[in-house]
Chains A and B, each alone.
Chain A
């Protein structure tokens, strides 16, 4: 799929995320997230709501600039690549980015032309077929069910044959059959050499599908043990370990008057933060 894009001048085989943090004022959305993804891999981003999954996808889609850390597409950062990189990105956001007033065909045609395809008819027809919406091409999206919109939005984000596919909660509102189709579609992308990142809650659906999974909690990555058992069990174990680890660390630091690392606590003891004028 990716190789057939119209002007695939820039392409990459590997995505590297190194120590990415993102803060909004005082809230911390992401804290030192690192991961590497290669072509032909499906990586799961697991975690509760507000754990930073959508923020991470936003950063990878170059919509959000990281406050710290770097993201490398191949071996080059997004800042250098600009539009050429966006041609290789597909992003299915939680809100689907479709125009309800336009018909399914018009939506696909608009985005195909926006991505530079001057005769999109054939590409739009193929996408409609893939989404099983060929008979509904002329109907407005406002009349569609959530599942139909989801399928249409997925095809829209794959129209231009992206290398990196970012999916934010793709299974919400899908019935049994659509989930099966969706999983087959993802397997097809993997076979075509795409890098797929999938943020989801539905652990059971993706259990067999993911090559690797990353657990996010309050913006931080949590190690996921690869001991046996289902994904759900491993996820629950990982979260439990994380809870104990954090309270341990937080506990020692907060006990009033308690010594840190055995030394009596002096006011401002070994505070090494530098004053702004030297920073």
Chain B
């Protein structure tokens, strides 16, 4: 197990260093997410007031689209100079490589989320931080779940044709529970009289989703990546 953590940390550190050098995916994804927020606010604001509860939907949908973009771009780069096969050649547990890549994407999406939540809070003056722990917990669990399934599909699609269009086609039907739980959990937090029990239930559901699909992804990464 220590070996898996060591390798995962190594891959994560490499991804952070590579990303910090070019910051290409970070800037493009953050800008894309902000433009999503703008577009949605035009759609959901009527006579100055946002439609009741639209804010949580906007946050999560902007997050999902930005995540999908980041996933596609991150693996595109690995494919470009065949680096992914270089990693698969290493004499290590291949699931550890998956874990390292996943953590890199979760970190990236976390940065994007900070910006998205800031803008939504600004535009709609929503009390996101009335219950900060639950809210951050929902976001974190949702991101890990979404990025977990997304990273596996993106890695797997790396060698398939028309992968850019296939990623969302595969990703959204599977991650529907995360989006439902995320949106409704956040809604329960920011509505007039926040319903904490409901929010906790949704958080528990996302954590269950994470547990199931991360183990499944960790387990199937090896057979899916061998041609």
Contact = CB atoms under 8 A, between A and B. Distances in A.
A touches B in complex, CB < 8 A: yes
A65 B21 contact: no
A87 interface: yes
B92 A101 contact: no
Interface stretch (A110-118, A190-198, A230-238): A110-118
A143 interface: no
A113 B91 CA distance: 11
A65 B85 contact: no
Contacts of A93: 82, 85-86
A212 B93 CA distance: 35
A93 B83 CA distance: 10
Interface string B33-44: 000000000000
Interface string B80-112: 111101111111110000000000000000000
Nearest to A107: B14
Contacts of A106: 17
B82 A101 contact: no
Contacts of A99: 14, 18, 81, 83
A36 B140 CA distance: 53
Nearest to B83: A97
Contacts of B92: 83, 114, 116
Given A64-B227, A110-B10, A98 B91 contact: no
A61 interface: yes
What bracket does the count of chain B residues touching chain A fall in?
Answer: 20 to 34
B91 A116 contact: yes
Contacts of A63: 85, 88-89, 226-227
B10 A114 contact: yes
Contacts of A110: 10, 14
A86 B90 contact: yes
Contacts of A116: 91-92
Nearest to B96: A114
Contacts of A114: 7, 10-11, 87, 90, 92
A251 B81 CA distance: 43
B162 interface: no
A85 B92 CA distance: 11
Interface string A77-97: 000000111110101011111
A102 B18 contact: yes
B47 interface: no
Given A65-B226, A65-B227, A106-B17, A100 B81 contact: yes
A140 interface: yes
Q: Which of A83, A86, A101 has the most chain B CB atoms inside 10 A of its CB? A: A101
Q: Which of A58, A98, A99 has the most chain B CB atoms inside 10 A of its CB? A: A99
Contact of A101 (B10, B22, B89): B22
Contacts of B7: 114
B1 to A, nearest CB: 15
Given A63-B226, A83-B91, A110-B10, A140 B21 contact: yes
Contacts of B93: 83
Contacts of B80: 95
A276 B23 CA distance: 55
Nearest to A88: B91
Interface in A54-82: 58, 61, 63-65
27 contacts: A63-B85, A63-B88, A63-B89, A63-B227, A64-B227, A65-B227, A83-B92, A85-B91, A86-B91, A87-B91, A91-B89, A93-B82, A93-B85, A93-B86, A96-B82, A97-B83, A98-B81, A99-B14, A99-B81, A101-B18, A102-B14, A102-B17, A102-B18, A113-B10, A114-B10, A115-B91, A116-B91
Interface of A: 58, 61, 63-65, 83-87, 89, 91, 93-102, 106, 110-111, 113-116, 140
Closest 6 CB pairs of A and B: A97-B86, A95-B82, A87-B91, A101-B21, A86-B91, A83-B91
